[in-house]
Amino acid sequence: MAAAALRSGLEAGTRLFKKFVSFARGADTLTVAEKVYSIAGFLAIVTTFLLVMSIQSVRLQTTYRHMHATSAEAAINVGRINALIYAIVMESRGIYMSADRGSMKQFADGLVRRNRDLAEAVKGLERTVGDDDALQVASFRQRIAQFIEFRQELVRRGVDISPAAAREWGDNDANRTLRSKLNSDLEALERIYRQRASEADALANENRYAGAYLFALGLAALILAGLNVVVMRGSVVGALDEITQATDRIADGDVKSKVPHLGRHDEIGHLARAVQHFRDAVARIFELEELGIGTAQARDAAMVERDNFNDKYQAKKWQLSAAINSMPQGLIMLDGKANVVAMNANYRQIYNLPETIQAGSTLEEILQHRVKSGLFSGDISKFLAAILDRIAKREPAANEIALNDGRIIKIYERPMDGGGWVSVQEDVTEQRQRERILERMERFLATIIENVAEGIIAKDARNLRYVFVNKAAEKMIGMSRGEIIGKTARELFSAEAAELIERRDMQLLAQRQQLEPIIDTIDNPTRGRRVISARRVQIGDAGEESHMFVTMIEDRTEKMAAAA
């Protein structure tokens, strides 16, 4: 079972590692901050597994030690009890065989002392009683009590009456039956404790599997840490060094120097494009100086432009540093008692907090200020109790709240390593407003496109299949959009008409757009020969999923017939 669990854990770790390597190789579309957070997430997962397995290993080791100690102690007690029973029997025989009361008294004292030792040994055995031997020990304890009581009576008869009376009392079937049952009890207990020792050994073997888990997880954590260094060096440090070298070359006058990392879509790419703008500005300045046609005013203007580009470059560089080392959202850190550990200016700005609220203040003081400023109307005690409950349970949370002034705040909460709580809060009011406006505009544009008099047709530029037609286009073609969508011109029209349509598509691909109307006569499969006027535009670039041909068509057949 433990081996199967180990294999399952290693397979899950392998899949996680493959995903991480894939991310590290080609995630140029991610920002630097996203890469850092992703790597930290992977490392946190491995660390969590490592912590869980450490706890499991400690638990197994503790259980093993307890089982081993109790089985060993129980075995020792059983051996001691067996030896004491044998010694008591020998003392009893000494009483039987004594010729006078004086010699018998010595054996009687020894037997009484052995009885006390036997009672103490049985008490010691009770300390190691478990579920597996509870019933056996209970019956054994009763028989030991009978055995001790029987031997006490034997001593009394030997001392008070005679050795013969003691021998008569001891030589009976009940005594022999009791001895036989005690021997059976001792053998049964020995079997139980041998089984307990075997179980402890099995638990030790299981603990070795837990050790293998810990080694594998520790190795995974080490690999992730190394990959973190590699990814950061390749994505940030190395890229910044290359951009810095390119900037130095431009500053030295090499305006034809190539700026690296222009194709990246993260902060590094923004910085590279800013350096490229700077290089282009410097190149223009050099051209003016070489031609000698610039005046002092033009040179001053060029210097100002160069300075502006320098400022933009420095600003972009600062923005990159800020993106890595800070965040635009509001942030507050709390300890386990909801006392403020730290907060940034953005958090203070969101809730208009005064300068008197600093690190060391309490969350309750912040809520009281929000109540006074009208930004909180709930029950402070219930809100604090909910926060403290989440901190105690270490449960991350994400939600949005609406402030009384109409703003919408997005809140992300999560526990911190070592205790405490961090909350990242962002004002998403404008974003939500833009989303609502965009949704209304999309519905508005869809209504317009669907109801204009011109036929509007869109097709995928990669395979020339129709992907959209409006009502007017359905009427012009004489087919429903269900019959048109997903098909090519050759599947809908005659060979002559399809060839004309494809030729127009190739012309559009070369020209990007055809806004001047083109008059064509085309065979419609349902409406016969029609005279149409078409304007075409190309959306997107070749190879992109969004590369489309959009055609706006007007049927001029009736107008041409009326004009004739």
Tell the burial category of 533 from Cβ atoms under 10 Å away from its Cβ (0-12, 13-18, 19+).
middle
Predicted confidence band of residue 469 (pLDDT cuts 50, 70, 90): very high
Residue 508 has pLDDT above 50, yes or no: yes
Identify whether 230 is part of a domain. no
What is the predicted pLDDT for the residue at 316? 60
136-145, 195-204, 386-395: least confident range: 195-204
What is the predicted pLDDT for the residue at 466? 92
**Are 91 and 181 contained in the same domain?**
yes
466-469 sheet: strands from edge to edge: 466-469, 455-460, 548-555, 528-539, 513-524
pLDDT above 90 covers a percentage of the chain that reads 2
Tokens 């010694």 label which residue?
Answer: 87
Residue 451 or 409, more confident: 409
Predicted confidence band of residue 209 (pLDDT cuts 50, 70, 90): low
**Are 465 and 533 contained in the same domain?**
yes
Identify whether 116 is part of a domain. yes
What is the predicted pLDDT for the residue at 251? 77
What is the predicted pLDDT for the residue at 487? 92
Residue 407 has pLDDT above 80, yes or no: yes
Instruction: Quote the domain boundaries for residue 103.
Output: 2-223
Identify whether 436 is part of a domain. no
Residue that finishes a domain, picked among 170, 201, 223: 223
Q: Is 528 helix (H, G, I), strand (E, B) or coil?
A: strand
Instruction: Give the CATH number, domain containing residue 46.
Output: 1.20.120.30
**Are 418 and 393 contained in the same domain?**
yes
Burial 43-58 (b: 16+ CB within 10 A, else e): bebbeebbeebeebbe
Predicted confidence band of residue 235 (pLDDT cuts 50, 70, 90): low
**Residues 130-163: tens digit of each pLDDT:** 777 677 777 777 777 777 777 777 777 777 777 7
Residue 465 has pLDDT above 90, yes or no: yes
Cβ(338)–Cβ(391) under 8 Å? yes
**Are 219 and 282 contained in the same domain?**
no
**Are 162 and 25 contained in the same domain?**
yes
Residue that finishes a domain, picked among 223, 241, 275: 223
Please tell me the total count of domains within the chain: 4
**Are 320 and 344 contained in the same domain?**
no
Identify whether 261 is part of a domain. yes
**CA–CA separation, 239 vs 269, rounded Å?**
10
**Residues 471-501: tens digit of each pLDDT:** 888 888 888 888 989 999 899 888 888 888 8
Predicted confidence band of residue 506 (pLDDT cuts 50, 70, 90): confident
Can you list the alpha helix ranges (DSSP code H) found in 233-252?
Answer: 238-251
Identify whether 246 is part of a domain. no
**Are 343 and 321 contained in the same domain?**
no
Tokens 């001053």 label which residue?
Answer: 300
What mean pLDDT, rounded, does the chain reach?
76
What is the predicted pLDDT for the residue at 323? 41
Q: Which of 114, 130, 141 is nearest to 74 (CA)?
A: 130
**Are 15 and 60 contained in the same domain?**
yes
Identify whether 387 is part of a domain. yes
Predicted confidence band of residue 325 (pLDDT cuts 50, 70, 90): very low
Looking at beta carbons, which pairs linking 348-355 to residues 24 or more positions away fall under 8 Å?
350/407, 350/409, 350/425, 350/427, 351/375
Identify whether 410 is part of a domain. yes
Cβ(302)–Cβ(284) under 8 Å? yes
What is the predicted pLDDT for the residue at 324? 33
Residue 503 or 513, more confident: 503
Q: From the centroid of its chain, how far is CA 250?
A: 44
Residue 440 or 459, more confident: 459
Identify whether 303 is part of a domain. yes
Residue 97 has pLDDT above 90, yes or no: no
Residue 133 or 352, more confident: 352
Confidence (pTM): 0.32
**CA–CA separation, 560 vs 563, rounded Å?**
5
Mean pLDDT computed over 532-556: 81
**Are 111 and 198 contained in the same domain?**
yes
**Are 482 and 389 contained in the same domain?**
no
Residue 353 has pLDDT above 80, yes or no: yes
Most confident among 140-149, 276-285, 498-507 (mean pLDDT): 498-507
If one counts every other C-beta atom within 10 angstroms of the C-beta of residue 546, the result is: 9
Residue 210 or 511, more confident: 511
Burial 4-40 (b: 16+ CB within 10 A, else e): eeeeebeeebeebbeebeebbeeeeebbbeebbebbe
**Are 532 and 500 contained in the same domain?**
yes
Tokens 């929000």 label which residue?
Answer: 370
What is the predicted pLDDT for the residue at 437? 83
Evaluated on CA atoms 290, 291, 295, 300, the torsion sign reads negative
**Are 415 and 318 contained in the same domain?**
no
Residue 503 or 149, more confident: 503
What is the predicted pLDDT for the residue at 22? 55
Q: Is 480 helix (H, G, I), strand (E, B) or coil?
A: coil
**Torsion angle of C-alpha atoms 291, 294, 299, 302, degrees rounded to 10:** -70
What is the predicted pLDDT for the residue at 8? 63
**CA–CA separation, 513 vs 515, rounded Å?**
6
What is the predicted pLDDT for the residue at 66? 66
What is the predicted pLDDT for the residue at 32? 65
Residue that finishes a domain, picked among 264, 298, 325: 325
Predicted confidence band of residue 71 (pLDDT cuts 50, 70, 90): low
What is the predicted pLDDT for the residue at 320? 36
Instruction: Give the CATH number, domain containing residue 520.
Output: 3.30.450.20
362 DSSP assignment: B
